[in-house]
Structure formats: C-alpha cells, structure tokens
Structure 1
Amino acid sequence: MNVRKEATWFKSTYSGQEPSACIEIANLTTAVGVRDSKDETGPALLIPPAAWAEFVSGVRTGRLGRPIE
C-alpha cells in the first residue's frame, strides 16, 4: 500500500507551528497511519484501528502516563 498517495495527513491541534517533535496521523481504510511530520516521504507505521483506539484511550485516561490537559 502506498500510504502517501492514499492518505490525508494531519497533526494534532496540540502541536505548535514548529515542526519539531510532531507526528502526523492518517485515517486509512484498514489502519491508522503514523509518521514523523519532518519526513513526509519517510516510512509510516500502520496500526490496526482497535489498537490505535486503545492507545488513545490509555493516554486520555492516564493509564499510559499523564493525561493531556
């Protein structure tokens, strides 16, 4: 799958205008794409939707560290 052609990438609204230390996310048909915002042509992780939902839930509830405020 050529993720770059299929995907519409976006950064979190919590990210600043500076591109350092940011990731971009793409909601794909069968996965969630995650890539480094500084390297748009570089590799992307493809994560199953259920695993991504569990990760986001863990962050929001503080199970994986400090929740975002």
Structure 2
Amino acid sequence: MAVRSEPRWFKSSYSGGSGTECVECAHADGRLQVRDSKCGDGPVVAVHAHVWRAFIRALEGDSLTAG
C-alpha cells in the first residue's frame, strides 16, 4: 500500500497583502486543492489538475461572460 503524505500548502501569489483574503493551494493525487488560509481545518475545494488549467485558460482568454 502506498503511503500518502499530507499536502504541502502554499499561499497563492494572488492573495492580498492585507491578510484578509488569503488562499492556500496544494497539489495532491493529480488534483489542485484550495482552502482559506485562516481556516486550515475547514472545507477544501479539490479539482483535477486538467480542469483547473482549463479554468485558468478560460479566465486568461476572457471567454467567461456574465450571465
């Protein structure tokens, strides 16, 4: 059985400097995980890496429209 290590969380480069909107990210099992840095034991959003890349590409390409 493979040993799973704990995710290594890092603060997003897009987090604000005021300390009020900090987001942490981690890579684990082919997924990107995102959480609120002020609530480390709180909920985590996890998406497959390819889905996250498509999301970022869509934002960069401004292909999302307000609904």
Q: TM-score, normalised by structure 2?
A: 0.71
3-state SS of 2:11 partner? coil
- Tell me, in whole angstroms, the C-alpha distance in 1 between the residues paired with 2:27 and 2:14: 18
Alignment RMSD = 1.9
Question: Which residue is 2:15 aligned to?
Answer: 15
Q: Deviations over 1:5-61 (max 9, x none)?
A: 611112222323322123211111221101112111111111111111111111222
Query: For 1:52, what is the secondary structure of its paired residue?
Result: helix
User: Which has the higher mean CA deviation after the structures are superposed, 31-40 or 17-26?
Assistant: 17-26
Call closer, same or farther: CA 1:53–1:39 in 2, change over 3 Å.
Answer: same
3-state SS in 2 of match to 1:15: coil
4+ residue segments displaced more than 3 Å: none
Which of the two has greater strand per residue? 2
SS class of match (1:6): coil
1:57 is aligned to 57
> How many percent identity over aligned positions?
34
Runs (5+) with no aligned partner, structure 1? none
**Contact 1:19-1:37 at 8 Å conserved across structures:** no
Q: Please, what TM-score do these two structures have when normalized by structure 1? A: 0.69
